[in-house]
Structures are given as C-alpha cells and as structure tokens.
Amino acid sequence: MSLIPGSGAITRILSLAIALPVSTNQLGGSSDWTTYLSLISYLFFIVLIFYGQRIQMYVMIREVENSLHKLKYIKEEGRKNAIDAIKEIGKPTTDPSARVDRYLEYFTISPQNMDPAGIVYKLDHILDVRDTRLKDEVKLMAPSSDEVQVNNLENTLEAAMALNFIYKVVRHYYIQGKKTLSLYVIMQIQMILPMIMKEAEAYASALKAFAYGQPIGDGAGALVAAKLMHGYELRKLPKDCVMATVQIEGRTAIIIKAEGPGGNVGKPGDAVEAVIEENEGKIANVIMIDAGLKLEGELVGEVAEGIGAAIGGPGVDQYKIEEKLTKYHIPINAVIIKEDIGDAVSPMRKEINDSVDKVIERVKAVILERTKEGDKIIIVGVGNSIGVGQ
C-alpha cells in the first residue's frame, strides 16, 4: 500500500521518487532489492552533499593524471626521436642517450632585474652563451653532422627539451595537488590543461619536422623573404642572417632573413642594426614580416598589416630594432601571417605556404603607399629558416 495520497499521475510519479521503498513493496519478492536500491540512492545523495567538492577534486586529479600519462608518452617519444635522429645523422661512436638526457635538463637563468638598466644586453649575452653551449653539445653528440644538420638537431633537441619541461611542470602540480588535497592547486593546472596539451602535441609533431629539416609555420616570414631574394646576390650579416639587394617598384629593398636551410632564427636585431648603420640611417621604411598568433575563429594563413616591430622571442631583437629606428626616426610597418601555436612549430600548412604571394602583394602596396621612388627600404622576413633556402 502506498503511503502517498492523491490519485493524479504526476503526483504519483513524483511520489515514487520519495516513497520508492514502500511503494515497491507491492512487487513482492523484489522488495528487498528495491529497498537497497533506494538506500543506495539516498546514500549517494548524502555523500554528494558532504563530499561533492572532494569528488570533484578527485575527478580533476584523474583528468590531470590521464593527461600526464599522455604527456609522459609524448615526452618519451620526443626523447627517442631525438636520440634516433642523432644516431642516424651524427653517427656517434658512443651511445648519445646519457648526453641527451643531460641536455634535456639544461636551464637558463635570466639576468637579475632589480636594476633593469642594461638588462637587454645582459640577456643577449646569456642567450649567446646558451646558444654556443647547446651547439657545442650537439656537435659532440653528432660528430658527423654538418652545420645545417647541427642546427636541425639543435632544434629537435629543443623541442624534446620543451616537452620534458611541460611534463615536469604538470607532474609537479599533479603531485602537489595530491599531497595537499587542495582543490585550488589542482584546479590551476586542470583549467589550462587543454592549452598545455595542444602545445605539447604541436611540439611532438615539430620533432619530426626538425629532424627531417621540413619548413615549419614559424618560417612564414623567412619564406616570404626567400621568395623576394631568390636569385639575387647574397651577403652574410651578423648573426646567422643573410641579405640581398633587390629592386621593388623602383625602390631599393634590402631583404634580410635568417640563413637557411638549417633550423635557425638568426639575430635580425643585429642584422637590421648593421644595415641601418651602414646606410647612416638613410632608410625610408622598415617592413617586418612574421607569423602572428591567430585568435580562435580567424583563418590560418590570413594576412594582416600593422605598425611596429613584428618579432617574437625574448625581446632582445625587438629592443635593438626599436632603438635604431628611434635614433634615426625611421617608420616601421609589419605584415603578419596568422596561425596558431600548433601550426607555428609543426610542418608548414598549405594555407600558410599559399599566403606568401598575398603577403608580397601587401608588402608592395605598403612600399607604394609609404615610400617614394628611389628610396631605400629594409624588408625583414622573421622566423625559423628550417627547410627554407634563399
């Protein structure tokens, strides 16, 4: 017999949820089962009231743990790929694994910024030392490799290094979260996990691109410069950059890019500085072309135009360029090719490759609008020159 009064169907359904143990007594032999089922439901409800947040935390920890397993797998693959590439290209006489493991743990300490005056040049020096040290390590690991291969292997190891670092940071938060059982510690990493995973997957796909020497999305600027300077006489510039003097729309354009086809970003700051000084500041305009981070919803390979020094990295090159431009009051324009972080470090997408001609058209338009015939201009193709000759 039901304890719930009322005969309407809706009332009856609602009442069933509350009085399930009693109403299902009518089921005869299964009444015990029904009682247990209801008790479990009540228990579940009570547990959720008191331990809801803790359960939510366990779910988050589990989610981070799953991603951590994936990151560990990607990191191990990265290490394996790097070692395989070194063995294949560098033909070392001993097993490079131990040296690779040591390389993956390298760190760089940025200069003290309590007194920020002159910090850019201190950082520049530290980065130069780092670059030389890492290149020397690669040469020791892969003695049979030439300059281009050393650059490619260095890039491969840097991608493996990035994967190793990402894994260790996520693992740190995961263990800390488990140790402290703090929702907020685990929440920090859980909230940004999709972005971290996207970046890690991009680096994983970059590993092979670097090892094989394929052009990457970040090299879009370098590719534009290569197209403009191809077939012209080249001259080396500091550091690891090349330049060619080209006539465009009646103007003398000095095209600068990092020297390819090895994985190399050069130091466009030093190169632009040198060219401006050589010309005693008589430069009508500087146009910088680089890959720019796109927002969700924007198309890969979209071209946009703006003002300012389009160059990423630690900021040393941007600072040097801005210093020189300010000294000689030279205007600066920028053209960017939009892509996301995944596209920037993985093999170049067709859309990015196809946008090169659009960029050249845009650069020509800027030259026509912003300079006069006979003027001298600088065009800098910023980005990693891996897989891009000149």
Subset of 311-350 contacting other proteins (CB under 8 A): 346-350
Tell me which of 21, 56, 70, 314 binds other proteins, using CB under 8 A: 70
Q: How many chain residues are in contact with other proteins, going by CB under 8 A?
A: 50
With vertex at residue 153, the alpha carbon angle to CA 126 and CA 352, rounded to the nearest 5 degrees, is: 95
- If the CB atoms of residues 166 and 274 are measured against other proteins, the closer one turns out to be 166
Considering the rule CB under 8 A, would residue 144 count as an interface residue with other proteins?
Answer: no
- If the CB atoms of residues 96 and 260 are measured against other proteins, the closer one turns out to be 260
Considering the rule CB under 8 A, would residue 390 count as an interface residue with other proteins?
Answer: yes
At closest approach, how far in Å is the CB of 66 from other proteins? 6
Considering the rule CB under 8 A, would residue 62 count as an interface residue with other proteins?
Answer: yes
Count of beta carbons in the 10 Å neighbourhood of residue 351: 16
Name the nearest CA neighbour of 258 among 272, 279, 277. Answer: 272
Strand 332-339 versus strand 235-237 pairing type = unpaired
Considering the rule CB under 8 A, would residue 26 count as an interface residue with other proteins?
Answer: yes
Contact 16, 6 (CB under 8 A): no
**Please, what sign has the CA dihedral across residues 38, 39, 40, 43?**
positive
Helix axes 119-141, 97-104, angle to 10 degrees: 170
Contact 219, 385 (CB under 8 A): yes
Considering the rule CB under 8 A, would residue 387 count as an interface residue with other proteins?
Answer: yes
Distance between CA 303 and CA 359 in Å, rounded? Answer: 7
Considering the rule CB under 8 A, would residue 235 count as an interface residue with other proteins?
Answer: no
Considering the rule CB under 8 A, would residue 9 count as an interface residue with other proteins?
Answer: yes
At closest approach, how far in Å is the CB of 74 from other proteins? 6
- If the CB atoms of residues 177 and 387 are measured against other proteins, the closer one turns out to be 387
Helix axes 97-104, 31-85, angle to 10 degrees: 110
At closest approach, how far in Å is the CB of 326 from other proteins? 34
φ/ψ (deg, to 5) at 340: -95, 175
- Measured torsion, CA atoms of residues 285, 286, 292, 295, in degrees rounded to the nearest 10: -20
Query: Which range binds other proteins by CB under 8 A, 15-23, 286-294, 310-318, 319-327?
Result: 15-23
Query: Which range binds other proteins by CB under 8 A, 116-124, 208-216, 243-251, 371-379?
Result: 208-216
Considering the rule CB under 8 A, would residue 34 count as an interface residue with other proteins?
Answer: yes
Distance between CA 37 and CA 26 in Å, rounded? Answer: 15
At closest approach, how far in Å is the CB of 297 from other proteins? 7
Considering the rule CB under 8 A, would residue 226 count as an interface residue with other proteins?
Answer: yes
- Could you tell me the CA-to-CA distances from 84 to 44, 100, 207, 213, 303 in Å, in that order? 52, 11, 11, 15, 38
Distance between CA 309 and CA 276 in Å, rounded? Answer: 15
Considering the rule CB under 8 A, would residue 177 count as an interface residue with other proteins?
Answer: no
Considering the rule CB under 8 A, would residue 266 count as an interface residue with other proteins?
Answer: no
End-to-end CA, the chain: 90
Token readout for 348 is 């170049």
- If the CB atoms of residues 37 and 187 are measured against other proteins, the closer one turns out to be 37
Contact 346, 208 (CB under 8 A): no
Considering the rule CB under 8 A, would residue 292 count as an interface residue with other proteins?
Answer: no
- The site map against other proteins for 100-139 (x = CB under 8 A) is ----------------------------------------
Contact 84, 210 (CB under 8 A): no
At closest approach, how far in Å is the CB of 379 from other proteins? 17
Considering the rule CB under 8 A, would residue 35 count as an interface residue with other proteins?
Answer: no
Considering the rule CB under 8 A, would residue 46 count as an interface residue with other proteins?
Answer: no
At closest approach, how far in Å is the CB of 35 from other proteins? 11
Considering the rule CB under 8 A, would residue 388 count as an interface residue with other proteins?
Answer: yes
Count of beta carbons in the 10 Å neighbourhood of residue 151: 27
Token readout for 6 is 């009322």
Backbone torsion region of residue 266, taken as left when φ is above 0, otherwise alpha when ψ lies between -120 and 50, otherwise beta: left
- If the CB atoms of residues 220 and 335 are measured against other proteins, the closer one turns out to be 220
Which residues here bind other proteins, judged by CB under 8 A? 9, 12-13, 16-17, 23-24, 26-30, 33-34, 37, 40, 62, 65-66, 69-70, 73-74, 77, 201, 204-205, 208-209, 212-215, 223, 226, 230, 260-261, 297, 346-350, 352-353, 387-390
